[in-house]
Structure 1
Amino acid sequence: MAFLKEAEPERGVPHPVLPGISRIVANNPSLMTYHGTNTYLIEAEGSFAVLDPGPDDDGHIEDILRATGGAVRSILLSHTHSDHLGSTAALKARTGATTYAFYLSADPSFAPDVLLRDGDSVLGMTALHTPGHASDHLCFAREDGVVFSADHVMSWSSSIVSPPGGNMIDYFNSLQLMLDRDDTLFLPGHGPPLPEPQPYVRQLLDHRLKRENEIAAALKDGPVGTWDLVDRLYSKTDPWLRRAAERNVTAHLLKLQSEGRVASRSDKWVALD
């Protein structure tokens, strides 16, 4: 797939995205987070809503407070992975902001003030439950075709689907949900904005289908272990990327198992069709 790249952004300052929307990129770069987590600052009637406060980092919190003048009234969370949730409690303590997130939190230590369900309206946007990468993942859709797509659809990379919190069946369904919409711009949780997202989402879905078919074909040659499949199907050598590949392969296998196409036999997987 052709992913979008961008130069490393200046740290600690808001970067304009659209009128009334800017982002601060947290200083948590890695193979999993690209340049860092995008914290979005959304202007709303003289105050701000902060979408994804980012990792637990005092410096990042200070950057948010400086950019907003401390006028943070709302905190929206796309999902409870630590690179998005980490600063939430501290930012709430500093500002008194109301937190909004999916009503079934995947992190037992976090309970939002306002529980959101699929289709709920929040700050002029619609919450879209898009599980797959995380069971409590939400995208936030504006009426003008702009969607905060968080980690469900990112422009710089495909998403990791890591069981048990990640679920490949859910991920396929959530990609189809986004594909059926007519949005014009995605603002992801990592990486640059993604214009005209539908062809890209189609590529993501086709890529996953291709990988699933490769896994199913490999199993027809006989019982195979998960890591053996990683070695056959991926060329990654970095340990972190290999681990991510293993999680995706496991998620695919569990999807195929639920469909009655494969079964687990001890530490191997076998084809049933």
Structure 2
Amino acid sequence: MGFLTEAEPERGVAQQILPGIRRLVARNPGIMTYHGTNTYLIDGDDGLTVLDPGPDDPAHIRDLLNAAGNVPITRIVLSHTHHDHLGALAGLKAATGAPSYGFQRPATRSFTPDHKLADGDSIAGLVAVHTPGHASDHLAFAYRDFLFSADHVMSWSSSIVNPPDGDMQAYYASLHRLLDRNDTAYLPGHGPLLPNPRALVAEMLAHRRKREETILAAVQNAPTTVAELAHHLYAKQDPMLKIAAERNVLAHLIKLRAEGIVIEHANIWQAI
């Protein structure tokens, strides 16, 4: 697929991405996060909106406060509640007093947003687009003519769909929803700006369908387990990537089960 790469960004520096929008990349690089979580600072008439405060890292919070300078941070918006996006929220709130905004039904029980957002709600020019799949509480945000796509569609890699909160049926539906839009670019939760995003969205959807066809063919050939399928389909060596591959396979199988195509008993999956 047409994924992008970029040089490791300068740490502690908020880089101008688009007019009025800067990106500060957190110091949490890894095989699941690329160079780190993207935190966006968005200029507004009443101060700065921080989109995705990032991981629980005092250095990242200091970087955000330094990047804001004398301009007040007036709100903190969350795309979803995975720890690498939510972790810095408490520290940033304590430092700024800014209220939080997030999906009305957060997937992380310990978090309740100060202001709950539903699909279509608008805050500081950001329009919430509910895009479940990677996470049930996942919001993308339309802004001007582009989209903050968070972890639903990233420029550097596909997303993991990890049951039970991750849902492959919902992921497909959310990809279809984005294909119906005309955003000129995506600003993702990890990795660089993605131009002409609909092409990659279509590729991702086709890739998932092909993967699902391969999984179904294997299950139709003989009953099997998630681990066996992931081993033959992905051949990942890194332990974290092996786990991610298994979770994606499981998500596909759960989708096929919901569609009445496969069944599972004692962790063995077979076609109906």
Listed as ranges, the matches of 1:1-273 within 5 Å are 1-45=1-45, 47-69=47-69, 71-142=72-143, 144-272=144-272
* d(CA) in 2 for partners of 1:66, 1:80: 24
Task: Indicate the percent of aligned positions where both proteins have the same amino acid.
Answer: 58
* d(CA) in 1 for partners of 2:57, 2:193: 24
* d(CA) in 2 for partners of 1:50, 1:102: 15
- Using the TM superposition, name which of 204-213 and 70-79 deviates more: 70-79
Question: Which letter does structure 2 place at the counterpart of 1:221?
Answer: N
* d(CA) in 2 for partners of 1:179, 1:19: 25
Structure 2 residue matching 1:269: 3-state secondary structure: strand
Question: Structure 1 segments of 4 or more deviating over 6 A?
Answer: none
Show CA shifts across 1:17-37 (max 9, x none). Answer: 001000100000000000000
Structure 2: any 5+ residue segments left out of the alignment? none
* d(CA) in 2 for partners of 1:5, 1:72: 30
Structure 2 residue matching 1:148: 3-state secondary structure: strand
Question: Which letter does structure 2 place at the counterpart of 1:147?
Answer: L
CA displacement at 1:222 relative to structure 2: 1.2
- Using the TM superposition, name which of 40-49 and 169-178 deviates more: 40-49
Show CA shifts across 1:165-220 (max 9, x none). Answer: 10000000000000110110100000000001001100010010000000000011
Structure 1: any 5+ residue segments left out of the alignment? none
* d(CA) in 1 for partners of 2:151, 2:240: 18
Structure 1 residue matching 2:33: 3-state secondary structure: coil
Q: What is the root-mean-square deviation of aligned Cα atoms in Å?
A: 0.8
* 8 Å CA contact retained: 1:47, 1:68: no
CA displacement at 1:46 relative to structure 2: 5.1
CA displacement at 1:235 relative to structure 2: 2.2
* d(CA) in 1 for partners of 2:37, 2:20: 19
TM-score (norm 1): 0.98
CA displacement at 1:126 relative to structure 2: 1.0
Structure 2 residue matching 1:220: 3-state secondary structure: helix
Structure 1 residue matching 2:269: 3-state secondary structure: strand
* d(CA) in 1 for partners of 2:230, 2:34: 22
TM-score (norm 2): 0.98
* d(CA) in 1 for partners of 2:214, 2:180: 26
* 8 Å CA contact retained: 2:46, 2:74: no
* d(CA) in 1 for partners of 2:21, 2:74: 15
